[in-house]
Structure formats: structure tokens, C-alpha cells
Amino acid sequence: MPVGDPHTVRAFDEELARLNEHIARMGGLAETQLADALQSILDGDEEKAKRVIEDDTQVDDVHMQVEEEAIRMLALRQPVADDLRTIIQSLKAASTLERIADHAASTAKRVHVLHEGPAVPPVKSAVRMGWLVLDMLKQAVDALLRRDIERAVEVWNRDSEVDDFYSSLFRELLTYMMEDTRNITPCTHLLFVAKNLERIGDQATNLAEMTYYMVTGKQLEGERPKSDTSSFTIVEPKHYEG
Amino acid sequence: MPVGDPHTVRAFDEELARLNEHIARMGGLAETQLADALQSILDGDEEKAKRVIEDDTQVDDVHMQVEEEAIRMLALRQPVADDLRTIIQSLKAASTLERIADHAASTAKRVHVLHEGPAVPPVKSAVRMGWLVLDMLKQAVDALLRRDIERAVEVWNRDSEVDDFYSSLFRELLTYMMEDTRNITPCTHLLFVAKNLERIGDQATNLAEMTYYMVTGKQLEGERPKSDTSSFTIVEPKHYEG
């Protein structure tokens, strides 16, 4: 950015602060959407689920605003170095938060089917997994807004916790499906709920990586700790049939 | 960008062309990854599936290159208007292609389990859905590289075709699961294959929207034609039990 002119500098800082506020708003909305989606599953509250689905457009609107402002800043201020990196990472963070909110809305879309069918115990496990993911998301948003790299690394290290939960829930769901064919429909929808939550955990980890890069200009080193083994899970139905 | 200096103009055009080449390469890789993932499912070819999973890093590497070049161009050339829009949309397209390749790799991860378990007929339906999606992806990449908005609109209008296929496959899979509990494990993994393919269709549609915006500076108007009803699907097991 043009240095030397204090007016321009101040205007740019104000614009950066506004960009950060928009992202804070998106983070808050994404958290609320996820919390409400989980609560609506737990309570079988179709009204609340409907609101989550409808409110997804709010997140989309703020996302569009972030994009427009970032592009305007790039065109008018022509930032370089740290400022350029901050704007590009903000664009990426906004698009990640938008996808997180999408996954929350997809989760809420399953409430109707889950409420229609027989109650299955893994609903509670899925919601517990959701709380874990929500906690991780809050921490990731917090780290992003405060540019707190220590907190970002903490989030990054928690992704495998979510993966472990997901792998065990995956197995639990298959087991319930084999026990009683009436469980197949609700458990299938819960599989997708679990997958959405696993994706949110993954994206919270992405946010942590963006935060780290935004602050340090370096990539978080090492392999991301992954332990999702669900793609390889086989559950045999035999002992239910004997 | 600074006008008037023909050297700078030419250098910028060359950089834009190189950026487009990288994106062409990502598009080609994503298409190959998807085609190979589908073929490996059809043939139960675990070796091929393994290569798809491993080759995902190639796509990640080109993605990183695109990001680095785009950011360098923003810093050095300080483009405005059309050029700025092209660079930002290229960044978004690259990140979308990277996610498409991710979904292809996730699809390939299921080959092992599918190969282990009993053969289930919906494998063929899933692969057919995959071919439809692959065709749509090719068209979307083509439209993006040629800046062909007519072709982009065609892709955009095809998303509901994929959604219809997905909804019917979802129902087919639930039905097979209820017929025989031994089908539950393979059909569950096929549900995730189908979901990955549906996501790729969605992202091809996103590519079409980016192409349209890149060329015209306007958003594609109207609601995206959606017809995925799977979140609301209930299949009752009753008539298999009587």
C-alpha cells in the first residue's frame, strides 16, 4: 500500500478492521447455525431446523460482502506483503466459514426424517460429536479473529480427536443398521450428519492453518494429524443373524 | 495494471496465460482422477485406486503454485477491473478444482471395502452417475478455459440432472440395505461415493458460475436448478420383512 500518507494508511486500517468485523460476524453466524442444528436434532425440533436452513442465506450475504470489499481494497489500495496476505487469507477464511454454515444447514435438513422415524440411540452420539466440533470451531474462529497462533496450533492438533469420534460413530451406526432394518433409514441420515460434522472439523482445521499463515507467512509444518479410518470400515452382520 | 508500457502489458498477459495453463493442468488432473476412481470401482482395481489416492498431492502442488503466482501478480502488477476479477476468479476456480480432486480421492478410498464385500448391483448405478458427473466436469473445465459463457450456462442447467440421479440412487441403496443385512456395509460406502459425486456436480456448477462472472462481471441470474431430495428420503423396510 502507498506508505507515507497517514490519511491513506488510516483508511486502509479501518477497511481491514471492517473486513475483520464481517468475518467475525460470519464466524458467529456459523457457530449459531451449528449449535441450532445440533439442538434441533436433539429435540426433534423441526421449526428450529427450518430456521437454520433459511438463515443460511444470511451467511451467504455476508460472504458476498466480504468478497466485494476485499476486491475493492485490492483495486483501490493495491496492498503488498503482509496486507496483501491478510486480504487473501480473509477471502479464504470467509469462503471456509460459508462452507461450514452450509454443512450446518445440511445437518438441519435431516431433522425431519430423524423425527419421523423410530428414535435411535446414536442420535445422542452424533450430537455429542457435534458439540466437540462446535467447541473446535469456536476456538478456530477465536484464533482467527485474534490472530492467535498458539490457539490455532491447538485447533490443528484436535482434528484427529474429531476423526476418532467419527470413525467410532460410523461403526456404531452400521451396527444399529444391522440389528434392525427399521434403523436403516434414520441411521443413514445420521451417517450424513456425522460426515457433515467431520467436514466442519476439517474446515476448522483449515481455518487454523490460514490463521497461522496469515500471522507468520509460513505454512504450519508437518503432516496434519489425521485418524479418520471410516473409509476402510467393514462391519459384518453375522452375529446378528445367527 | 499500469497501461501505456507495452513491455509491462505483454509480461502481464504472459503471466495470465501461464495462470490459465496451470488451471488447465489442474482441470485435466481432476478429470483423470475422477475417471480413474470410477474405473477402479467398476473393476475392483485396488492398485489403480491407490494411485488415485497418492496422486492427490499432485493436484495440491499445482494448486499451491496457482496461489503463489496469483498473489505475486497481485503484488507486482496491481491489476484492476477485468484483470483483477480474472485473477480472483482463477484463485477460486483453482480451489474448487482442488476440492473436486479431493472428492475423487475420497471415492477411490472406498474401493478396498467394496472389493472385500459382496458385489452389490448399485455399484453400476454409482459408476453411471459418475460418468454423468465426469461429463459435466469436462464441460465445466472447458467452459472455464475458453471463457465460454454459453457452455457455462449449459453446465449450470445440468446440475439438477445429477441431483435426480443422486436421489434415485440414494433410494436404491437403502432398498438393497433392507433386503439383506450383508449389503449394509458396501451400500453405506456407496452412499458416500454417491455423495462425493453429487458434490463434484455441485462444484462443476460453481465453476460454471465463476466462468460466467469472470467473463461478464455479472452473477448468473435466478435460482440454481436444484432437485436433490435425498435429505428427506424415507424408505420403509416393511415389505421385506412380511
Asked whether residue A1 carries a pLDDT value surpassing 70, the answer given is: no
Q: How far is CA A45 from CA A147, A221, B65, B233, in A?
A: 37, 43, 46, 18
Within-domain flag for B1: no
Query: Residue A62's Cα: distance from chain center in Å?
Result: 16
Chain B residues in contact with A178 by the CB 8 A cut-off are 181, 184
Cell 452400521 sits on residue = A174
Mutate to test the interface with A, among B40, B87, B90, B234 (most CBs of A within 10 A): B234
pLDDT at A46: 97
d(CA B52, CA B36): 7
A219 and chain B in contact, CB less than 8 A: no
Amino acid at B202: D
Which segments of A147-220 does DSSP mark as H helices, in order? 149-179, 184-216
DSSP code for A181: G
Q: ipTM exceeding 0.90?
A: no
B94 near B25, Cβ under 8 Å? Answer: no
pLDDT at A241: 39
Inter-chain contact B192–A231, Cβ cutoff 8 Å?
Answer: yes
Q: Which of residues 115-174 of A touch B (CB under 8 A)?
A: 116-117, 174
Size of interface A-B (CB pairs under 8 A): 103
CATH number where B79 lies: 1.20.58.220
Chain B residues in contact with A85 by the CB 8 A cut-off are 71
A191 and chain B in contact, CB less than 8 A: yes
What angle do the packed helices B149-179 and A184-216 form, to 10 degrees?
A: 140
B98-141 pLDDT, tens per residue? Answer: 999 999 999 999 999 999 988 899 999 999 999 999 999 999 99
Ranges of residues in chain B with a pLDDT under 70 are 1-5, 222-223, 225-226, 237-242
B232 and chain A in contact, CB less than 8 A: yes
Inter-chain contact A234–B117, Cβ cutoff 8 Å?
Answer: yes
Angle at CA of residue B225, ends A31 and A29, nearest 5° = 10
The three cell numbers locating residue A44 = 426433534
pLDDT at B206: 96
Mutate to test the interface with B, among A69, A219, A234 (most CBs of B within 10 A): A234
B220 and chain A in contact, CB less than 8 A: no
Within-domain flag for A47: yes
Amino acid at A191: L
Cell 479464504 sits on residue = A92
Residue in chain B lying closest to A238 (CA): B182
d(CA B149, CA A13): 38
pLDDT at A81: 87
Cβ-defined contacts of B76-81 (< 8 Å, 24+): B77/B1, B77/B2, B77/B8, B77/B12, B77/B15, B78/A78, B78/B1, B78/B2, B79/B1, B79/B12, B80/A75, B80/B1, B81/A75
Within-domain flag for A81: yes
Q: How many domains does chain A fold into?
A: 1
A76-104 pLDDT, tens per residue? Answer: 999 988 899 999 999 999 999 999 999 99
The average confidence (pLDDT) of chain A is 91
Cβ-defined contacts of B3-11 (< 8 Å, 24+): B8/B77
A205-221 pLDDT, tens per residue? Answer: 999 999 999 999 888 87
Residue in chain B lying closest to A235 (CA): B185
Within-domain flag for A1: no
The domain of B100 spans 6-241
What single string gives the DSSP state of each residue in B155-193? HHHHHHHHHHHHHHHHHHHHHHHHH-GGGHHHHHHHHHH
Inter-chain contact A234–B84, Cβ cutoff 8 Å?
Answer: no
Per cent of chain A over pLDDT 70 is 93
Across the interface, of A113, A174, A233, the residue whose CB is closest to B232 is: A113
Which stretch of A3-7, A231-235, B147-151 has the lowest confidence by average pLDDT?
A3-7
Inter-chain contact A231–B177, Cβ cutoff 8 Å?
Answer: no
B72 and chain A in contact, CB less than 8 A: no
Q: Report residue A201's pLDDT band, with 50, 70 and 90 as the boundaries.
A: very high
pLDDT at B230: 81
pLDDT at A240: 44
Asked whether residue A227 carries a pLDDT value surpassing 50, the answer given is: yes
A19 CB-side CA count, 13 A: 27
Close Cβ partners of A213 (under 8 Å, ≥ 6 residues apart): A85, A89, A219, A220
Asked whether residue A32 carries a pLDDT value surpassing 80, the answer given is: yes
A233 and chain B in contact, CB less than 8 A: yes
Asked whether residue A242 carries a pLDDT value surpassing 70, the answer given is: no
Q: Which of residues 198-217 of B touch A (CB under 8 A)?
A: none
Inter-chain contact B178–A174, Cβ cutoff 8 Å?
Answer: no
- Give mean pLDDT, residues A213-239: 77
d(CA B145, CA B21): 9
Which segments of chain B does DSSP mark as H helices, in order? 6-43, 46-77, 81-108, 111-116, 122-146, 149-179, 184-216, 238-241
A98-121 pLDDT, tens per residue? Answer: 999 999 999 999 999 999 988 899
